[in-house]
Amino acid sequence: MARWLEMVQGTERCLWCDATFEGNMGWGWVLGIAQTTHLCGICSGQLQRIQELTCKECGRPRVGELSVEKGIEVGKNNVGGKKNADIGSGSKETTSSFPEKKKLGVCSDCQRWKEIEPWNSLSFQHRALYVYNEFLQEVMARLKYRGDVQLAKLFTDDLRKLGRKSFGHFDYVVPIPLKGSRHWERGFNQAEALAGGFGQVKELLERVSMSDGKQSKRGRVERIESLKGAFRVKDGGVELKGKRVLIVDDIYTTGATIRSAAAELYGGGAAEVCAVTVARGIGKKAAESLKT
């Protein structure tokens, strides 16, 4: 079918697999998927929306009956069924995906962060849309390394809704910057593209060039040490004092990168810093390899 005809008739193509699907009719429409995710039913069925948390700070997800801290198989049992009805349908803002904060504890990772400056005196919260499963690894790789920037559209609306629902109002939304050379190579920063749904995006941070090394080969303490001072607040930027700031990035793995950026924003005077990401890594080594 010709593209113009598809558009007239309301048929869209899946941004991932390019299959045509009914943009304005059918199950996708009924479930509120097609309009918000630009994915066909099969592809959206491969995304695992984070429904339940086990940690009120880092937003560690609970998947199925098992806590991800114990390690689980992801990417299974997620096709069809009630859970998928909620995927990408962030419009149902009255249906909170998150239990009351008071019912949630703090995971062992976050407790360890509290032993380190400046987290012994500062708060930090993060929420992600999806579990970082194999499908999402492929989507992120195509977005980041093949420069398919329109894939960011799959997430921008839902990231904004997640940020608002979880943390309320923000003065500034700050994408995690890429290293200068990478930005130049790729021509765009995926975190910036993902923050596209927010109105108040400010590139307040920049990377500080540091000795490099494969993140995944380092231990936790080394990694945290190496990321201290990885960012700085740009000169001549906006006034941060007393402001609420939301960081946006693609993937949350150990949280070290985002916390390093958050520490810098607090250092610049921010009153509160939170973060949202598309994908929450659950400790798989493979997930680390994509993280920059």
Tell me if 17 contacts Zn ion by CB under 5 A.
yes
Provide, rounded to whole angstroms, the least separation between the CB of residue 2 and Zn ion: 20
With CB under 5 A as the contact rule, the residue among 107, 139, 174, 261 that binds Zn ion is: 107
Count CB-CB contacts under 10 A for residue 205: 24
Residues 52 to 91: which contact Zn ion by CB under 5 A? 55, 57-58, 60
With CB under 5 A as the contact rule, the residue among 31, 110, 176, 204 that binds Zn ion is: 110
Which of 32-40, 146-154, 211-219, 227-235 is the region at the interface with Zn ion (rule: CB under 5 A)?
A: 32-40
Residues 6+ apart with CB under 8 A from 230: 207, 208, 210, 257, 260, 261
Q: What is the DSSP letter of 275?
A: E
Tell me if 246 contacts Zn ion by CB under 5 A.
no
**Is-contact 40 17, C-beta < 8 A?**
yes
Which of 50-58, 133-141, 203-211, 235-243 is the region at the interface with Zn ion (rule: CB under 5 A)?
A: 50-58
**Is-contact 183 154, C-beta < 8 A?**
no
Strand partners, 247: 174, 275
Q: 74 exposed, middle or buried (CB, 10 Å; 0-12, 13-18, 19+)?
A: buried
Provide, rounded to whole angstroms, the least separation between the CB of residue 150 and Zn ion: 14
Place of tokens 């919260």: 125
Provide, rounded to whole angstroms, the least separation between the CB of residue 123 and Zn ion: 12
Angle at 18 between CA 13 and CA 22, to 5 degrees: 30
- How many residues in the shown chain lie near Zn ion by CB under 5 A? 12
Which of 2-10, 19-27, 144-152, 166-174 is the region at the interface with Zn ion (rule: CB under 5 A)?
A: 19-27
| Nearer to Zn ion among residue 17 and residue 286 (C-beta) | 17
Residues 6+ apart with CB under 8 A from 71: 282, 283
Question: Which positions lie near Zn ion, rule CB under 5 A?
Answer: 14, 16-17, 19, 40, 43, 55, 57-58, 60, 107, 110
